[in-house]
A and B are shown apart, each in its own frame.
Chain A
């Protein structure tokens, strides 16, 4: 369809496509949720970064190209269409970096962003705690003032990438006496090999050990690693979670590419008489198209409209992509029939990544704020319904 991309947009698309064609590894890298795969993906980040493709939308001084949001979306479409490797740096790039751009100091940006862009420092998120999932305001881990910084203690869990990553970021309770639970939180960064940090890998549903539990025992964090004002961590973090739920974590290119692969799978394996399954393929294809167009409308609003879309719109996005992702993968497994049960690395698997993708998709409605919480946000902030008990 014609969405009026201009010559500059098209030439950017061609440049991305050509570069990817020349550089995407011929064989898929091992899963980035394993030690071996993590290392291979770190190298891929370096390859991307060498030609400034790892963070296209960042300013040039930090390793980016200063590309517009629209070009970023074009980049993502080409990236997934080319079957390029998953991004091991995505927690840093999509969650921490926007926070630093918005709330960090110039020193923090100069110190942290270029190393992130090159894949030299890979970041894990450390939001969740055993008693705090979507309810971040109930966090219990503490940050206690000490000379030149803070001592953090407590337990973080379900921390993506933490088994192999270098550093982590999260919220800590710095003022237990604050009048409201979401006040008195401080946003800070720490090294996973610092004294007092114990990392215990947790196997995920797919058996891969990339999740981890973090036990923190008076870990020293210097003042320079606090983002924003102490006690303002909640406000600082909200800018990040909006990014997580919205565009940046799950760009449309990922789903349009998956829909294209699903269509190909259906043409190859689909029974023409099975219209029920064909209809599910159609719905997944339509869903990916709807998500792409919804995203373009959002980008257009940012670039040409009166300001960006309302923050709660990211909740619409989050529910939509997480449910779409499951539908795409479930339908693929059904198309594969008896082969759908095989793991991707099984010798007889025809898969193309559907098995791992399916297992991962199941986490979508849970992480980044459960879909139940997102529905509450939509009802209260977009529809204006009264607050009630959760």
Chain B
């Protein structure tokens, strides 16, 4: 029994972190939010080169997955750096197309996803009418019950709580597949999406904590750093506590998914609600401890603060996750 990352996995996470540190992601996020996708797509290409999207694609379609644990490491790094784009949706779509059992569609789409040439969005209507970043995606897949469609139009972008998450309603299009296989593949894809979102939340929370620790160590009030005040310390200790205990849930859920465990869905739901709540609480604490500057748009911290809440609710709200843990979702 070894519940620990191995050296290769740690190296992968570290190198991805270094890559993203060199990308000036705050500027990338601001461009993306303004509708200029160029810098974001440049980051996308580098992520593809590092193998991120290939993790969700099986070898026979030119990937080296599916590798759920490595995928969570990648998404934690993506969250740490607030990388914009339909990242979760692309890997979830890959999972869906892989599971669909339609070789023609898979062979057409998956190699392009693995190589980063194709950016894809996915909208299960059971979770709401909006697709993320559909305005720039090469393909927008819509799952409606047991029907899979390739959307024809994407509608107007609706401003979102996180400006870098651009939401619109996909419409029309052609039916690609229909039947129980669609529902099953979509269920698996939703699990992959929830797991990746949980990992992304963890990364968002860790950056919020790190930046806040740095700030309270420098900011002085009443003649001393505010980080020496017990009320401040205790809030940050609780933030670390929540993130530290969410991490193993994400790790354990990834292993369960990789092993094809029957309870993997419930494990993923447990990880999703815990990581989502931890990151959201980290955002609230970060805002509070930064004081008024924490309530400004111009501080880069806002990029993470605004991401935490949508990630908490995307791909499974806390209530839906808790219901799944208790087996009352059916």
**A residues touching B (Cβ–Cβ < 8 Å)?**
1-6, 9, 70, 263, 266, 272, 275, 278-279, 281-283, 285-287, 289-291, 293-294, 296-297, 299-301, 303-305, 316, 319-320, 372, 374-376, 378-380, 382-390
Judge whether B256 and A1 touch: CB under 8 Å.
yes
Judge whether B3 and A290 touch: CB under 8 Å.
no
Judge whether A375 and B237 touch: CB under 8 Å.
yes
With a CB–CB cut-off of 8 A, which chain B residues contact A275?
319, 323
B8 to chain A, nearest CB (A): 14
With a CB–CB cut-off of 8 A, which chain A residues contact B237?
319, 374-376, 378-379, 382-383
Judge whether A379 and B236 touch: CB under 8 Å.
yes
A319 to B242, CA, bound (A): 11
A275 to B274, CA, bound (A): 18
Judge whether A316 and B249 touch: CB under 8 Å.
no
Judge whether B249 and A297 touch: CB under 8 Å.
no
A301 to B247, CA, bound (A): 15
Identify 20 new A-B residue pairs, CB closer than 8 A, beyond the known A379-B233, A379-B236, A385-B217.
Answer: A272-B328, A278-B322, A278-B328, A282-B273, A282-B325, A290-B245, A293-B251, A294-B244, A296-B1, A296-B3, A297-B248, A304-B2, A316-B244, A316-B245, A320-B245, A382-B237, A383-B209, A383-B233, A385-B232, A385-B236
Q: In the complex, which of the residues B225, B240, B248, B319 contacts A290, with contact meaning CB atoms closer than 8 Å? A: B248
Judge whether B228 and A385 touch: CB under 8 Å.
yes
A5 (CB) vs chain B CBs: closest residue: B1
B255 to chain A, nearest CB (A): 6
Interface centre among B2, B217, B224, B230 (most CB of A within 10 A): B2
A151 to chain B, nearest CB (A): 39
Contact A278/B3 with A372-B234, A388-B228 known, Cβ cut-off 8 Å: no
With a CB–CB cut-off of 8 A, which chain B residues contact A278?
322-323, 326, 328
A266 to B259, CA, bound (A): 29
B187 interface residue (CB < 8 Å to A): no
B78 to chain A, nearest CB (A): 22
B224 (CB) vs chain A CBs: closest residue: A388
A90 to B186, CA, bound (A): 50
With a CB–CB cut-off of 8 A, which chain A residues contact B264?
1
B191 to chain A, nearest CB (A): 14
What is the total of A-B residue contacts with beta carbons within 8 Å?
150
Judge whether B322 and A282 touch: CB under 8 Å.
yes
Judge whether B267 and A1 touch: CB under 8 Å.
yes
With a CB–CB cut-off of 8 A, which chain A residues contact B263?
1
- 5 intermolecular pairs with C-beta atoms under 8 Å apart: A70-B1, A301-B4, A376-B230, A386-B224, A390-B230
A294 to B252, CA, bound (A): 10
With a CB–CB cut-off of 8 A, which chain B residues contact A1?
252, 255-256, 259, 261, 263-264, 267
B55 interface residue (CB < 8 Å to A): no
A286 (CB) vs chain B CBs: closest residue: B270
B 261-278 binary contact with A (CB < 8 Å = 1; else 0): 101100100100110000
With a CB–CB cut-off of 8 A, which chain A residues contact B319?
275, 279
A355 to B256, CA, bound (A): 35
Contact A379/B229 with A300-B2, A385-B216 known, Cβ cut-off 8 Å: no
B116 interface residue (CB < 8 Å to A): no
A119 to B308, CA, bound (A): 52
With a CB–CB cut-off of 8 A, which chain B residues contact A385?
213, 216-217, 227-228, 232-233, 236
A320 to B274, CA, bound (A): 14
B229 (CB) vs chain A CBs: closest residue: A388
A317 to chain B, nearest CB (A): 10
Interface pairs A-B: 5 shortest CB-CB: A388-B228, A293-B248, A379-B233, A282-B322, A375-B237
With a CB–CB cut-off of 8 A, which chain A residues contact B249?
286, 289-290, 293
B238 interface residue (CB < 8 Å to A): yes
B190 interface residue (CB < 8 Å to A): no
Q: In the complex, which of the residues A282, A290, A316 contacts B246, with contact meaning CB atoms closer than 8 Å? A: A290
A387 to B234, CA, bound (A): 13
Q: In the complex, which of the residues B236, B246, B251, B326 contacts A383, with contact meaning CB atoms closer than 8 Å? A: B236
Judge whether B252 and A3 touch: CB under 8 Å.
yes
B27 interface residue (CB < 8 Å to A): no
A279 to B252, CA, bound (A): 21
With a CB–CB cut-off of 8 A, which chain B residues contact A291?
245
A316 to B3, CA, bound (A): 19
B42 interface residue (CB < 8 Å to A): no
Q: In the complex, which of the residues B2, B225, B325 contacts A386, with contact meaning CB atoms closer than 8 Å? A: B225
A71 (CB) vs chain B CBs: closest residue: B1
With a CB–CB cut-off of 8 A, which chain A residues contact B224?
386, 388
Judge whether B1 and A283 touch: CB under 8 Å.
no
B107 interface residue (CB < 8 Å to A): no
Contact A3/B230 with A278-B328, A286-B274, A290-B248 known, Cβ cut-off 8 Å: no
A385 to B235, CA, bound (A): 12
A315 to B209, CA, bound (A): 18
With a CB–CB cut-off of 8 A, which chain B residues contact A297?
3-4, 247-248, 251
